[in-house]
Amino acid sequence: MGFSKNIKYEMLKNLSENACCRQAFLSAIIKTSAEYGLSNGELSVSIKTQIKELCDIVETIVKDLYDVEVKVKISEEIFFKKSRFELIMTGSKVKQMLLDLDVAYINEDNCFNFYDGLYLENINQDCCIKSFVKGAFIACGSASGVDETTKKSIDYHIEWVFASQKKSQDFLKLLENINVYGREVKRKKLYVVYLQKFEAISDMLVLFDAQENMLKLNSEYAKRSIMNSVNRQSNCDTANMTKTIDNALAQLKAIELIKDTIGLEKLGEDLSSICMLRLANSEESLQELAQLSGMSKSAINYRFGKIMKIAKEIEEEQK
């Protein structure tokens, strides 16, 4: 099961029982995912989902709050081996339900009209805002942060997809009321409100009452941080080892040149002893040579600097 679906299942287990919050939740589901039609001359509302639990909860809320007739159709997607549920609300009470949920309104000419945006003027309390955001995520949202197929962490991202910019702008303003600041991007003909970064996603999961998935995300984040730290250290160690080997090879080349031309004895005891030490310990680092000689690393490095300079002068003379 994917990360998004896990979140949605956990959210559905922790919905508020308050009537105002259940109304806000239903309002979000309908405003962000419903399709409208006619059934026996009456307005009908259809919601499609692959989550049976959502279908059951919406049916319960609709019947409890509005006594609206509800039918459920189940279709099988054979290729994907999944069931798809369609919840259809019909009857004379549907219009009043949509008016109560601020999905629609009666205009000056006494005509029934749908709002262009989300119309959130009556979603004021924090608990109701939270329920609306949860409903919107279940209906049109998705999240990434844990890859359930590979068990690897991926980019941290959560989003809600809307059919119009008016709806996405309304949703952004609603998020600001609970101090959540999202961004908007157009994706083909759709408008996407999104949050990025680990902290923002973790906080949103707390808002969603998805504690188990929040803990899972935090665990994956900690693992990723540790692995990144290990990789950085490994890369640093590899770079240092390469540098040590390159320096040792250059020093050995310089020593061989001096040995084959003027002779190491011409260098004096201080430098010739360092040359002999390097010849006997061809792969050791400067720090290791310092420990073997009893001198400081800086003293060893200084003497090799003089040896390299002498070798360079010999090379210049040979040209």
Check whether 152 has a pLDDT greater than 70.
Answer: no
Please indicate whether residue 159 or residue 247 has the higher confidence score (pLDDT).
159
In this prediction, residue 287 has a pLDDT band, given cuts at 50, 70 and 90, of confident
According to DSSP, the residues that pair with 158 across neighbouring strands are 143, 195
- CB-based contacts of 278: which residues, under 8 Å, 6+ apart? 248, 251, 252, 255, 289, 304
- Provide mean pLDDT across the span 16-22: 91
Locus of tokens 């250290």: 233
Nearest to 136 by CA among 168, 96, 94: 168
Lowest mean pLDDT among 151-155, 179-183, 315-319: 151-155
- The arrangement of strands across the sheet holding 152-162 comes to 141-147, 152-162, 190-196, 183-187
In this prediction, residue 272 has a pLDDT band, given cuts at 50, 70 and 90, of confident
Rounded-to-integer distance, Cα 142 and Cα 152, Å: 18
Q: What is the mean pLDDT of the chain?
A: 86
In this prediction, residue 318 has a pLDDT band, given cuts at 50, 70 and 90, of confident
* List of domains in the chain: 3-209 (3.10.28.10), 238-318 (no CATH)
The two structure tokens encoding residue 214: 């929040």
In this prediction, residue 187 has a pLDDT band, given cuts at 50, 70 and 90, of very high
Rounded-to-integer distance, Cα 82 and Cα 52, Å: 11
| Residue-level pLDDT at 118 | 93
Cβ–Cβ < 8 Å for 192, 162: yes
